[in-house]
Amino acid sequence: MIRNLLAVIAVINIGGGVWMLVDPQGVISWVLEVQGSGAYEGELSLASLGELRAVSGLITMLGVVILRALWSLEFAAWLQPLAWCFLGISLARLSSLLLEGGFSPYTFGMGLIEATTAWLLGIHSQRQLLALEEEDDE
């Protein structure tokens, strides 16, 4: 079950990352709509678009690496650093609730999803590493 949940999260990361790469303006509009913010009517500089695309590459590759490591004992150790990455993203996102002094259901929800992903990655990684040890012992 954990593997399947992580696979769904990985596919969402890949799809979302590719969407952000191809249509950063569309992603910004969608996020602002989901957050209940007003529409963005400004223009993004080339540097801003480049930053969004850099983040999209990171998000996409997080998904790709998770998918690769889920079914491979040889890559199980890769999941532990990814768990820490997702935990860091979650803590940074949730800290904005404290720093900004308000509450955002979107921010809280995404932070919770990222923390849960970190936890699931840690559990799956440990299971895979134990299976690898048992395989080596035989």
The per-residue pLDDT for range 57-110, each reduced to its tens digit, is 999 999 999 999 888 888 888 899 999 999 999 999 999 989 988 888 888 999
Which residues fall within 8 angstroms of residue 63, CB to CB, at 6 or more apart?
A: 9, 10, 11, 12, 13, 14, 15, 17
> Side chain identity at 113, as an amino acid letter?
I
What six digits make up the tokens of 74?
């040889």
Backbone dihedral angles phi then psi of residue 45, each to the nearest 5 degrees: -75, 165
Mean pLDDT score, 111-119: 95
Predicted TM-score (pTM) of the model is 0.82
